[in-house]
Structure 1
């Protein structure tokens, strides 16, 4: 019998512990997300090690990747800051205990009220466009800001293999273009006219973008910062926000590319970034959390259709939205387990792994070779610690699943779970206009009989 690889064996161990402790149960908890808090700590440590100590660096976790407040609080304790893209994410970052000066606010649609609130707090703001710049100018009314303020520049280098994840294309909706006719000169004037513009921000894209493209975008941002300081004859730009976007390997358990590899690319293409003349902010999200989380769900039914086996599970579009709607760009691995959490060893059979939503495309995997799945089995879905169960899609009013963090000791039985988000009760329906007062509530163990 072939032994499981270490990462797969660890997931098996966690699943078995979750079943023993009742966190997964075919009658009560059919779907759950799990976050490896030991793995998160190791990943954050590797990020800190990858960047040199020659310049101050703030690693601001991109809250969009996993905005659960306990997860954000854990990252704060590990020494990270927080990058937010909405007022909701800002509220969560503050609730997680981040100091305002360690929060970075990026959004292409900041309202005047949001800007004033961020500036009053001293949150760092990256300006997306000239109209936003004018709003900030009015809000400051001649005051010296407590916030660090920069402008997001679009280096217009092109895109990667996933168009939706590429933000440095010629016509991207983000930032101020550097290559459009006259745009660079206008932006230089803006820095001249606003001495409180002391940072430059860029972000070329994420999944599907090659490292040389990402590093090339940073190089153009650094070159622009150097140009600003040279043209003004003073060191006005003191920091570069290089964004995040390190791609994740979804094909297996290897972590590649690494933060070290990316820093090597940055050193080659943007050596001035590490000259000590600039502070640095990073905004990594998916690369910090994706491989430190997995989803687990029970198989409810199996059937055969047109010669194809189909396993219907409780994990689908509500926790794997990108994969369901764009499976070629966001493929996920599936692992088969029996009801106790033990990995299944049978010979592979090609089968679809479907979700519970009421449309034909709700599939986690198509024609995937797996040990034969049966009702009561479990499937685990690795690499879903970012964007998947933490960002649920409420199609069919499917409830949000519980999310559990875990830490382990040396003993196989030493798995300690902590609740990061409780499961939503699908039977709690609010009265119209009554806030959170339930219309009717069914206990989890009760299945209502209709008709």
Structure 2
């Protein structure tokens, strides 16, 4: 068996072992019907693959940051910090999580298209790098930045090289909300003027998109950004731009166990499209998220009921839109592979039948897998949703006030896996508190005993 196939077979067996142990140890069962699982060893291997790919270019200096939105869980972020990663954040919540996880300010990059003045003040005071998303934000930074700020400051540009197969994941389209649209009339000239007038502006940033964007499209966007950096430095007669943030966006294969494309293939595509990127004149920043974690995690869910409808078997589980939002709302763009396991967590075998794997949310489209050929599932069985280590269990949707599931990490050799809690399952008390329990009487208190509005307006 080829080495790559061996790795993938080992991954499938490893996840199967983890699910069986989770059932045996009570992490999954009738009272805990849903949980997320992340392979910490797999995450470390993915980070090493990223580093190895860029280390093959010895002259370039790279800060690899993890896109916090892909797994906004402090223990996961701390694992990545321990692996030497930096952190890319897109708001005050993610910035707080990054600090709680132990990332130093100089290894944090703040992106987002709608930063408030308070967010910018904090980032500049802490020394966090900031990529401004617009000329308007640059003007805000003009008024907020102190000469002694340690923050590396950049401008995000949209090279407008086009979109991939998923429009919502494509950020370099002509009308994208992100960055300065370089091909709009006068925009490129204004970018050059902006750098000319601001010696503290030293970085360019571009992110073409993620899932659905081929390597060639991503590389084309980075090539456009590199050309702009060369143009600005040439116009100024000095190396004003010293760094290029090339974003992330490496797509993930959701069709089978194989990891593709590889980080080494991504670097090769960049080397072909823009060889000057690796000559050592520019420091680079990357912002990978999904490609580091997706294939290192899975969701386990208990089958609560089965039924037949219109000649189709339906397995009703606890994994639906609240945990697999993108898959439910865009099933063609975000299909997930499903594993079938019996009540003991062992792989279910036997004849297959066409089945829908549905979730608990109260709308008809809450289906995570349509018409799949799987061994017949029964009440009390379990399903695994593969390739869900990024986004899925870390950023749940509170539809129907469904509580957030527990998340566990695991590590170790086959036959000796060890588990650790990453996030506790949300309690119903917490659900009620988040739903305004502490203000339960606030609206009725606006009215008197007879239902009259109280206060000056009610007495008028």
Length-normalised TM-score, structure 1: 0.93
* In 1: Cα distance, 2:67 partner to 2:278 partner: 22
Q: Report what 1:426 is aligned to.
A: 428
**1:162-207 alpha-carbon deviations (Å, 9 max, x no partner):** 0000000011000001111111011100000001110000000000
| Residue 53 of structure 1: how far off its partner (Å) | 3.0
- Match of 1:283, SS state, is strand
**In the alignment, structure 1 residue 124 sits paired with structure 2 residue 129:** yes
Give the deviation of 1:426 after TM superposition.
2.6
CA RMSD of aligned residues (A): 1.5
- 1:190-339 matches, within 5 Å, as 190-339=194-343
Is 1:33 aligned to residue 64 of structure 2? no
SS of 1:43's equivalent in the other structure is helix
Counterpart position of 1:448: none
Looking at structure 1, the residues matched to 428 and 290 of structure 2 have their Cα atoms a distance apart, in angstroms, of 29
- CA distance in structure 2 between the partners assigned to 1:185 and 1:337 by the alignment: 60
Deviation of 1:5 (Å): 3.1
Paired position in structure 2 for 1:49: 52
TM superposition shift of 1:399: 0.5
Deviation at 1:409, TM superposition (A): 2.0
* C-alpha contact (below 8 Å) 1:293/1:385 kept by paired residues: yes
Q: Is the 8 A contact 1:248 1:257 kept in 2?
A: yes
Partner residue, 2:149: 145
- For 2:455, the equivalent position in structure 1 comes to none
Once the two structures are superposed, residues 272-296 of structure 1 have per-residue CA deviations (whole angstroms, 9 ceiling, x without a partner) of 1101001000000000000010000
Equivalent position of 1:81 in the other structure: 86
1:67 to 69, 72, 83: 72
Residue 256 to residue 432, structure 1, CA distance change in 2 (3 Å):
closer
Paired with 1:322 and 1:293, the residues of 2 have a C-alpha distance of 16
Q: Which runs of 5+ in 1 are unaligned?
A: 437-451
Secondary structure of residue in 2 paired with 1:5: helix
1:172 alignment partner in structure 2:
176
Distance verdict in 2 for CA 1:435–1:36, change over 3 Å:
farther
Shift in Å at residue 433 of structure 1? Answer: 5.8
Q: How far has the Cα of 1:12 moved from its partner?
A: 1.0
What CA distance in whole angstroms lies between the structure 2 residues aligned with 1:418 and 1:86? 28
Contact 1:301 1:374 in 2 (8 A): yes
Residue by residue, what CA displacement relative to the aligned partner does 1:250-272 show, whole Å, maximum 9, x if unpaired? 00000000000000000011111
Higher helix share: 2
Cα offset, 1:315, TM superposition: 0.5
1:368 and 2:392 correspond: no
Flag the 1:311–1:200 CA change in 2: closer, same or farther, 3 A. Answer: same
Q: Distance in 1 between matches of 2:246 and 2:335?
A: 27
**C-alpha separation between the residues in 1 aligned to 2:153 and 2:298?**
37
- Cα distance between partner residues in 1 of 2:429 and 2:142: 49
CA contact (8 A) 1:145 1:196 kept: no
Q: Which runs of 5+ in 2 are unaligned?
A: 1-5, 441-460
Q: 1:136 aligns with which of 136, 141, 152?
A: 141
Tell me how far 1:432 sits from its aligned partner.
4.4
Residue aligned with 1:434, SS: helix
**Alpha-carbon distance change, 54 to 376 in structure 1, aligned in 2, over 3 angstroms:** same
Note the 1:431-446 alignment, pairs <5 A: 432=436, 434=438
Report if aligned partners of 1:144, 1:196 keep a CA contact under 8 Å in 2.
Answer: no
- Residue of structure 1 equivalent to 2:101: 96
Total equivalences in the alignment: 430
Shifted more, 11-20 versus 394-403: the winner is 11-20
> If the length of structure 2 is used for normalisation, what is the TM-score?
0.92
Are residues 433 and 360 of structure 1, via their aligned partners in 2, closer, same or farther at CA, if it must alter by over 3 Å? closer
- Secondary structure (helix, strand or coil) at the match of 2:288 reads coil
